Amino acid sequence: MMPVPPQNVVIVSLLLFGIGVLGVLTRRNAIIILMSIELMMNAANLNLVAFSRQHAHLTGQVFGVFTITVAAGEVAVGLAIVLALYRQFNSIHVDDVRLMKE
């Protein structure tokens, strides 16, 4: 099997990251925003793993494991916030939450 060239991996990662950013910026549903954030994080993971392989060094992969752990914690906190939002406003649309403006 031919090794995937690193630049292809970086391009995929860039696409993933771009989709994530777009999702965060355009979607209103807090859960989708959370998911988009996950996408961006995984794009970073992909990069870490790809470069780990290119440099034949394990540090990148270890970093990837750490990132997944942090992402799990982040999702836990994020979902807790979404839950709190829902309880407070009866909605998980972030546009409904503009208390700082008013």
Partner 1 sequence: MIRALWLIPLFPFAGFAVNGLLGPRVLPRKLVGPLACAAVALSFVVALGAVAGLGHLPESSAGLTVDHEAQRVTQTLFTWMPLGPGKDGRSVSVDWSYVLDPLSAVMLLVVTGVGLLIHLYSIGYMEHEDRSGYARFFAYLNLFMGMMLVLVLGGSLPVLFVGWEGVGLCSYLLIGFWYDRMFDEKSGMSVADAGRKAFLVNRIGDVGFILGTLLLLSALGTAQIQDILKGVPQLGAGMATAAALLLFVGVCGKSAQIPLYVWLPDAMAGPTPVSALIHAATMVTAGVYVLARMAGLYVASPTAMTVVAVTGGLTALVAATLGTAQTDIKKVLAYSTVSQLGYMVLAAGVGAFTAGVFHLMTHAFFKALLFLGAGSVIHALSGEQDIMKMGGLRTRLPWTHATFLIGTLAIAGVPPLAGFFSKDEILWSALSGRGGSLLLWLAGVVTAGLTAFYMTRLYMLTFAGPPRLTHEAEHHLHESPPVMLLPLILLAVGSVAVGFVGVPHFLGGAAVPNLFEHWLEPVMPAAVHAGAGAPLSEWAAMFVALLASGAGIAAGFAMYRGGPRPERATPAVRWVRAKYYIDELYDRAIVSPYRALCRFASAWDARIVDGAVNAVAFVTDLAGEMLRLAQTGYVRNYALGFFAGTILILYYVLR
**According to the binding rule CB under 8 A, does residue 97 interact with partner 1?**
yes
In which region does residue 90 sit, left (phi positive, over 0), alpha (psi from -120 to 50) or beta (all else)? left
Site residues for partner 1, 57-76, by CB under 8 A, read none
Pairs from 31-38 (Cβ < 8 Å, separation ≥ 24): 31/79, 31/82, 31/92, 33/94, 34/75, 34/78, 34/79, 34/82, 37/74, 37/78, 38/71, 38/75
**According to the binding rule CB under 8 A, does residue 88 interact with partner 1?**
no
Closest CB to partner 1 among residues 87, 101: 101
Closest CB to partner 1 among residues 32, 53: 32
Closest CB to partner 1 among residues 9, 24: 24
Site residues for partner 1, 2-31, by CB under 8 A, read 21, 24-26, 28
Question: Which residues would be at the binding site for partner 1 (CB under 8 A)?
Answer: 21, 24-26, 28, 33, 94-95, 97-102
